[in-house]
Amino acid sequence: MWRVLIAEDDPKTRETLVKGFKKTARCVSVANGDEALKTYQAARNSKTPFDFILLDVTMPGTDGFEVLKTIRDQEEKNPHPLQKESRIIMITAYKDSLLENYNMGWDDFITKPVDIKILTERMRALTK
């Protein structure tokens, strides 16, 4: 089973993702970028990193791009010898703005509304 961190401000989308992964992942869901960073750091410190982090691009406060940049900067500055980098998938309704930011270090993206079947297939492809 994968360990998945879901950072999504819309409660309905969060619930859909968690329910959709009930057979393939243990999910932790948070409602904003600040919570995502705290949860990511706690998992990293406890040596139980997430296999995947799903980040909504548009969240109040710290948005998905800021979370992504912070995580990638931290992984680069303080690589953990026993842990791999988390695979980060951006979730967006705005594909064009996401493609402009490809070099930020995300591994894949999916547009809303999220199709769990397609997302799961993409996640499996990233683990090969």
pLDDT confidence bin for 80, thresholds 50/70/90: confident
pLDDT the model gives residue 95: 67
- Parent domain of 62: 2-126
* Domain at 87, CATH number: 3.40.50.2300
Output the CA–CA distances (angstroms, integers) from residue 40 to 23, 61, 95, 112, 114, in the order listed.
22, 17, 25, 23, 22
pTM of the model: 0.93
- The residue with greater pLDDT, 53 or 99, is 53
Find the mean pLDDT for residues 40-69: 93
Query: How far, in Å, CA of 72 to CA of 25, rounded?
Result: 23
Count structural domains, the chain. 1
Q: What is the DSSP string of 32-94?
A: SHHHHHHHHHHHHHTT---SEEEEES--SSS-HHHHHHHHHHHHHHS--TT-PPPEEEEEES-
| Predicted confidence (pLDDT) per residue in 106-115, tens digit | 999 999 999 9
| Predicted confidence (pLDDT) per residue in 17-42, tens digit | 999 999 999 999 999 999 999 999 99
11-20 helix and 116-126 helix, angle to the nearest 10 degrees? 60
